[in-house]
Structure 1
Amino acid sequence: MPPQRITPAERGETTIADRVVSKIAARAAREALGGVPEGCAPPHAVVVVHHDHARIRISLELDYPTDLGARCGAVRHRVAERVAALAGMEVSEVAVQVERLHSVHTRRADQGRLR
């Protein structure tokens, strides 16, 4: 009697850790911003995964002046798109929290004090 074939869905399960999804989300946020502006901390993501659904909170710093709404919208869109593509998860929420704004004038003043 030949061995019985087991379908792929019955063989096992793939689990993606929250920290992996967090790294994907942070990288996607950097991509959406076009990199990390000088003097800014890189984006940081906190993720809650439940089954195949992810809720994501991204904390980031931006240059000032900038169109905050457009930049945050671009981050939300890119993060949701990349997590869905790379982790195969539905993203139910992407909350963007702007921690700090960095002005070009402030950076110049800070650089002068460091010298």
Structure 2
Amino acid sequence: MGSAPAGRPTPAHHGHVPPEERGVTTLHDRVVERMAARIAGEVDQVGGAAHRVLGVSTGGDEAEQTPQVTAEVHGRMCALRVRLSVDYPAPVAQVTDHVRQVLTDRLAELADVRVRTVDITVTALRPPRSARREIR
């Protein structure tokens, strides 16, 4: 019968540390941005947005790209700015409202982050799959 190594809780105390004594987890803005981009990209009828440099697109607004997200995180609150494309002829307002709701719900569930605002810019309406040009 020995004691636990110095600085480590004994088995009797394991799992019984009050929440206020467990420490703090801090999420960097970039972590929330990547999570939000992935979540938004999983929503039906949503596609990616091209990166821009000085307002000029550096690529097409393709489905294979993920939406672009910037986040401002303050403690457990955040504000998001999202750039994405929407499949035509999907109703843009309904799709963007759904994206806002999914982002709010999933970030709360996965990261315990409360989303204060979600500003969405639709950068393109993507043609239906059958109308998209393919290189053969």
Normalised to the residue count of structure 2, the TM-score between the two structures is: 0.66
Q: 1:13 aligns with which of 6, 18, 24?
A: 24
Structure 2: which amino acid aligns with 1:86? L
The reply on whether 1:29 has 2:40 as its aligned counterpart is yes
Which structure carries more helix by proportion? Answer: 1
The reply on whether 1:61 has 2:72 as its aligned counterpart is no
Secondary structure in 2 aligned to 1:98?
A: strand
**Distance in 2 of aligned mates of 1:90 and 1:22:** 14
Normalised to the residue count of structure 1, the TM-score between the two structures is: 0.77
Query: RMSD of aligned C-alpha atoms?
Result: 2.6
Counting matched residue pairs gives: 107
Aligned-pair identity in percent equals 34
**Distance in 2 of aligned mates of 1:32 and 1:54:** 20
Partners of 1:33 and 1:75 within 8 A in 2: no
Corresponding residue of 1:70: 94
Structure 1: which amino acid aligns with 2:31? V
| Uncovered stretches (5+) of structure 1, i.e. residues with no partner | none
Indicate the structure (1 or 2) with the bigger Cα radius of gyration.
2
